[in-house]
Amino acid sequence: MRVVILGSGRGSNAGAILAAQQEGRLGEARVVQIFADRPEAPILALGARFGVPAQFLDPGPFKTKFDEAGETRYLDAIRACAPGLIVLAGFMRILKPRFIAEHPQKIINLHPSLLPSFPGLDAIGQAWRRGVKITGCTVHEVTCEVDGGPILDQTAVRIEPDDTLETLEARVHAAEHALLPAVIARLSHSRAAGP
């Protein structure tokens, strides 16, 4: 299963995926390309480190979505990779229906809460301020409803009495780094097996 990763930031989840691949824990999946929507995004450095092509693709002038030309650039570049799976790993853009329709049930996202609780931005901070006792992370299919697609798997993280927001963030990120490669590996086996 050919995997394309889209990211915007430091790439810690992409790094976890690539480390799992290097260690033989990604099942039948193989990352074939990383695309970033910011030319200075640290995720791009993972390409050289792990021997995977990585490049900046101009998304257009908007901060949280594509313009039409940017969307076309991404769709053309992704199509050329012939992916079986597209992983949003800290990709901070909302995908439009055209993008999703071209890759039905092939786009997954990692969100740092137990969806449907705390969708949107700053999910860990939302959970922290709300005073919940358990939060976590979710891998879900991407649909036109932001953070609303079918849930593929979740990991719970208990908020301890001595946690700070920083320690909670670190523990949620550690859970993400385990969950996302495991879901990709599982999908690679189920899709290889067919219906």
Q: Strand 107-111 and strand 30-36: pairing?
A: unpaired
Report whether 99 contacts 78 (CB < 8 A).
no
Phi and psi at residue 137, in whole multiples of 5°? Answer: -145, 155
What is the predicted pLDDT for the residue at 193?
63
Residue 123 CA to residue 114 CA, distance in Å, equals 9
3-state SS class at 169: helix
Catalytic residue among 111, 140, 173, 177: 111
Q: In which residue are the tokens 């001595």 written?
A: 162
pLDDT at residue 122, rounded to an integer: 96
Q: What is the pLDDT of residue 194?
A: 58
Per-residue pLDDT of the chain (195 residues; tens, 9 = 90+): 999 999 999 999 999 999 999 999 999 999 999 999 999 999 999 999 999 999 999 999 999 999 999 999 999 999 999 999 999 999 999 999 999 999 999 999 999 999 999 999 999 999 999 999 999 999 999 999 999 999 999 999 999 999 999 999 999 999 999 999 999 999 999 876 655
What CATH number is given for 2-193 in this structure? 3.40.50.170
Span between the terminal Cα atoms of the chain, in Å: 15
pTM of the model: 0.95
3-state secondary structure of 68: helix
Per-position b or e across 121-132, b if 16+ CB within 10 A of its CB: eebbebbbeeee
The pLDDT of residue 191: 76
Residue 24: strand, helix, or coil:
coil
Catalytic site includes residue 111: yes
Domain ranges of the chain: 2-193
* Torsion angle (degrees, nearest 10) of CA 45, 48, 49, 54: 60
